[in-house]
Structure 1
Amino acid sequence: MNKGNSKVIICDDDQSILELLELVAIGAGCEPVVVSKSLDVMKAIRHTKPALVILDLWMPVMSGDMILQTLRKDAEFGDLPVLIVSASRDGKVIAEQNGATEYLAKPFDIMDLTNILEKYCSS
């Protein structure tokens, strides 16, 4: 984790969830970088070098678990903390099997999300 890095990439295809995650991230002292298309996430990660990535599990084109698998194989970003958020009953298992650092089931508690964000964002 980069010392003093407070950037968080948030990727979800649901605009209302994206906005909620962004607001909570700002409130937790993070600098959110919002990505609404899963295909743009890896480019954003390489450009931003965030402290944390938040991924929805089920997104069109490239799912959160596919992105997570790609990250875990990447030499530069293999250890990057990733929070998976999902409404899927199997979400926690899928997240764990693919190497997620954190997991929150939707609907999630705002305080749980805030605690995770504060853990990784260091201003």
Structure 2
Amino acid sequence: MKNKLILVCDDEEGILDVVEMMLDAEGFTVKTELESAHVFDRIKEHNPDLLIVDLWMPVMSGDELIRKIRGNEEMKSLPIMVMSASRDGEGIAFGAGADTFISKPFDINAFVSKVNELIS
């Protein structure tokens, strides 16, 4: 999995730090973004192999972001994993076009397993 780039967006810096440490330990290159409104430009800039995004964020929600990505010809095939503490998060994520979903708080092994499934 070396050389695979993952972009992670969450408005909670603590979550970003934990996810970055987990994925870095697995050999992935990780870019993080606190501002959902900047993710579209970060995708253009870095061309990630996977986007991991929270659902509930200020300015642009995760489901809005996913719909924007899925509507873009150059980005629509980007694998997207949603993480959320929302009770309705899974349905919202899949309804927006996410490829997989994991609940917060998440099990580290389950999280890494889902990432590996999407990125391989």
Tell me the TM-score range normalised by the shorter chain. Answer: over 0.9
Structure 2 residue aligned with 1:45: 43
> Aligned residues, how many?
120
Q: Distance in 1 between matches of 2:119 and 2:25?
A: 11
- CA distance in 2 between counterparts of 1:60 and 1:13 reads 8
User: How does 1:32-71 map onto structure 2 within 5 Å?
Assistant: 32-71=30-69
CA distance in 2, matches of 1:76, 1:32: 21
Question: Kindly, what percent of the aligned residue pairs are identical?
Answer: 37
Amino acid at match of 1:15: E
Unaligned runs of 5+ in 1: none
Query: For the Cα contact (< 8 Å) 2:82–2:101, is it kept in 1?
Result: yes
Looking at structure 2, the residues matched to 100 and 79 of structure 1 have their Cα atoms a distance apart, in angstroms, of 11
Task: Provide the TM-score with structure 2 as the length reference.
Answer: 0.94
TM-score (norm 1): 0.92
Gaps of 5+ in 2: none
Structure with the bigger RCO (C-alpha within 8 Å, sep 6+) is 1
- 8 Å CA contact 1:82, 1:100 repeated in 2: yes
Which amino acid is 1:13 matched to? D
The alpha-carbon deviation at position 116 of structure 1 amounts to 2.0
Pairing 1:112–2:110 present: yes
**What is the RMSD of the two structures over their aligned residues, measured on CA atoms?**
1.6
Q: Which amino acid aligns with 1:68?
A: I
